[in-house]
Amino acid sequence: MIRVEAVRKRYGDATALDGIDLHINAGETFGLLGPNGAGKTTLIGLIATLKRAQSGRIRIGGFDSVTETEQARKLIGLVFQENNLDRELTARQNLCYQAKLHRLEKAEQKVAAMIERLGLAAQADRAVDQLSGGMRRRLVIGRALLTEPRILLLDEPTTGLDASIRRDLWSLVRQIREAGCTIVLTTHYVAEAEALCDRVAIIRRGRVVEQGTPEELRQRHGLPSLEEVLLALPAEE
């Protein structure tokens, strides 16, 4: 579903991505792990067609991200790390605005169905500012799902949430995957990657230093957890 080939991205003299190669299969949840500044969010921006690389190639569902940008974008739903909901509108109004922006047919029915799917029926007509952090994150994800994307990009979706809310969102992510959506997830929580991801790539200084299923990485390094694998990798230069 996603192919990233020899991608390099620089900001001035700083190298954000240095020859990234990845393939992400249809219907899998793929995790991007690494410290701050490793290049995870830059990679998400490139896959989302919001940024362009200096070299290399990205294909989304068979479409070139540069020469066939519009076709690629139609396949993608994006959830930013920052909460960018309109805080003065209600949950329902935020979804309705998104539906109108994309000129969705049967918008009201789709919004109503999404509210039920998110478990927000009792809160749908409350302003975003009155919702809990977990409900706001559910709403952000639901807004991205309204267009029925084949790919969902989640950039640090549970940052700042307590453990119980985080696990609640894990359940939602699993439901999305079971519906056939391909998910790309960046996270600092290793337990989150182990719980959700079919495969992961560990990125440091813009390079993929390890890639595989959590089980493959544990066996490769002879360690019982993915967190210990990350700690055992050589320190960054």
Angle between helices 133-145 and 107-118 (to 10 degrees): 140
Tell me what pLDDT residue 81 has.
80
| Three-class SS state of 162 | coil
What is the domain partition of the chain in residue ranges?
2-75+149-232, 83-146
Tell me what pLDDT residue 160 has.
81
Mean pLDDT of successive 10-residue segments in the chain (237 residues)? Answer: 97 94 97 92 95 96 96 94 88 95 93 93 94 91 94 91 88 93 94 94 94 94 91 71
Angle between helices 107-118 and 91-101 (to 10 degrees): 140
Tell me what pLDDT residue 234 has.
75
Angle at 178 between CA 176 and CA 180, to 5 degrees: 80
7, 60 contact by CB (below 8 A): no
Tell me what pLDDT residue 25 has.
97
Tell me what pLDDT residue 237 has.
47
188, 159 contact by CB (below 8 A): yes
Phi first, then psi, for residue 5 (nearest 5°) are: -125, 115
Cα–Cα distance, 159 to 163 (Å, whole number): 10
CA distances, 228 to each of 24, 194, 199, 219, 225 (Å): 24, 12, 17, 12, 5
CATH node for 2-75+149-232: 3.40.50.300
Q: Which two tokens stand for residue 184?
A: 């790309």
Pairing mode, strands 182-186 and 29-33: parallel
72, 61 contact by CB (below 8 A): yes
Q: In terms of DSSP H, where are the helices of 119-182?
A: 133-145, 163-178
Question: 178: which DSSP letter?
Answer: H
What pTM was estimated for this model as a whole?
0.92
